Amino acid sequence: MESLFTAENTILGIGNIILSDEGFGVRVVEYLEKNFNFPDNVALIDGGTLGVELLHFVAGTRRLLIIDSIDGGVAAGTTFHLRGDEIKAHFAQKISAHEVGIQDVLTMLELSGKKIPHVELIGAQPFSLEAGVELTPRMSELVPPFADKAAAILRSWGLEVTR
């Protein structure tokens, strides 16, 4: 289980960009890449709908921040910030194919003795999962604040992140 890179810290945006708000995590990572500067020990990854293939991108990282649209069965636009065991509980519901994939990746790493020591997930309840390559306007409004939240999380990890 060899990693394709050696970043100590990883931001992983996941989601299906052809199902409107389902692509939220990917769109936030794209925004981060365009608007922020990160230290060399931070990797930003567009995980799209990759499943267990993500293993090769996150194996070996010490801190992982996952950004995703999260169907928590609550009002559209509701935001989430999950850590540790809360993430396992969320993924246990297996809402979409890519979430099954990331759950499998985290489980495989744990079972192989290569568990990522620190994992956080931020996301928002989607407004729409209809076919479309653009986020809905209200979900689009959440992208900049989520990018700021991601940057703040990395700063809390002791990393220098600038606009």
pLDDT tens-digit series, residues 80-89: 999 988 887 7
**pLDDT score of 102:** 78
**pLDDT score of 4:** 53
**pLDDT score of 2:** 47
Residue 16, burial from CB neighbour count under 10 angstroms (0-12, 13-18, 19+): buried
CB-CB contact of 91 with 102 (8 Å)? yes
Tokens at residue 24, please?
């939220």
pTM (2 d.p.): 0.91
CB-CB contact of 10 with 43 (8 Å)? yes
* pLDDT tens column, 19-31: 999 999 999 999 9
The residue ranges of the chain whose pLDDT is under 50 are 1-3
User: How far is Cα 31 from Cα 146, in angstroms, rounded to an integer?
Assistant: 10
**pLDDT score of 58:** 92
Phi first, then psi, for residue 158 (nearest 5°) are 90, 15
**pLDDT score of 3:** 47
